[in-house]
Amino acid sequence: MERNFERDLQILRERLLVMGGVAETMMHKAIQALVDRDEALAQAVLAHEEEMDLLCIEIDDRCLTLLALRQPMASDLRFIAAGIKINSDLERIGDQAVSIALRARDLIAQPQVKPLIDIPRMARLAQEMVRKSLDAFVRRDPDLARSVIEGDDQVDSLRDQVFRELLTYMMGDPGTIPRALELILVSRHLERIADHATNIAEDVIYIVRGEDVRERGDKELRKGLRLPGPKTA
């Protein structure tokens, strides 16, 4: 029984990593579609949606079955409860990638506003945060998780930079407004992906430390880094 339980937890861990891999692939393809103006790649993102949906349902079922049949205590219970939340964060990362792919498809059909530099940079950071948060989850490494939470500030500052730059384009040439707006919204999707990675990292700290740092520790950590401010420039 005990050995089976360990094996089931290991499978849960692996399935969450598979889902994380799909989410990363979707993000990568969505941004590449936008940068390379490649419509087939944008379409490829949408093809992953069903895979994500099925993984999400499967993982939810696994978590509930483990809770029902195994009566886990303490750290295993926290692990499974965090699994439920991480599952939902990964699903929503996939949703954001789909939204980026849809905007990419719109933008490809129109002339380019400007070569993209900060948005791909923001995407790389967000992807790195997702990957690190899942690494931290597998290794139960709270320090790695904390570094993900700190990375969120860089994403926010790039988001503000993207916003300011595109604002200049819009003010200078109102003809660019609809396309520049789409790009601003792409940067908001990336911001939300980074937020989900932060949620995952907070869950990892919670699993390991056994106390909820999402509000307490995180706010203290943030306090040392910057003052909480408005979400936009």
Q: Which chain residues interact with its own copies by CB under 8 A?
A: 53-54, 56-57, 60-61, 63-64, 67-68, 71-74, 77-78, 81, 84-85, 88, 99, 102-103, 105-106, 167, 170-171, 174, 177-178, 181-182, 184-185, 188, 212, 214-215, 230-232
The smaller minimum CB distance to its own copies, of residues 79 and 130, is found at 79
In the bound complex, what is the minimum distance in angstroms from residue 6's beta carbon to its own copies?
19
Helix (H, G, I), strand (E, B) or coil at 93: helix
224: number of Cβ within 10 Å = 7
The minimum distance between CB 17 and its own copies, in angstroms, equals 21
CA dist 206 and 216 (Å) reads 11
Identify which of residues 24 and 182 has a Cβ nearer to its own copies in the complex: 182
CB of 34 to its own copies, least distance (A): 14
The radius of gyration of the chain from alpha carbons, rounded to an integer in Å, stands at 19
Q: Which is nearer to its own copies, 124 or 161 (CB)?
A: 161
SS3 at position 140: coil
At its nearest, how many Å lie between its own copies and the CB of residue 116?
Answer: 18
114 C-beta neighbours (distance < 10 Å), count = 12
Helix residue ranges per DSSP H, 109-215 = 118-139, 142-172, 177-209
Q: Compare residues 88 and 147 and give the one whose CB is closer to its own copies.
A: 88
Total residues belonging to the chain: 233
Based on CB atoms, which residue is closest to its own copies, 118 or 128?
A: 118
SS3 91: helix
> Any residues with CB less than 8 A from the CB of 169 and at least 6 apart, and which?
113, 114, 176, 180
Tokens of 225: 């880094």
Minimum Å gap between C-beta 171 and its own copies is: 5
| Burial letters 173-201, b for 16+ CB under 10 A, else e | eeebeebbebbbebbbbbbebbbbbbbbb
Minimum CB separation from its own copies for residue 90, in Å? 14
Smallest separation, CB 29 to its own copies (Å):
17
CB nearer to its own copies: give 106 or 153.
106
**Euclidean distance between CA atoms 140 and 124, whole angstroms:** 23
Q: Which is nearer to its own copies, 126 or 184 (CB)?
A: 184
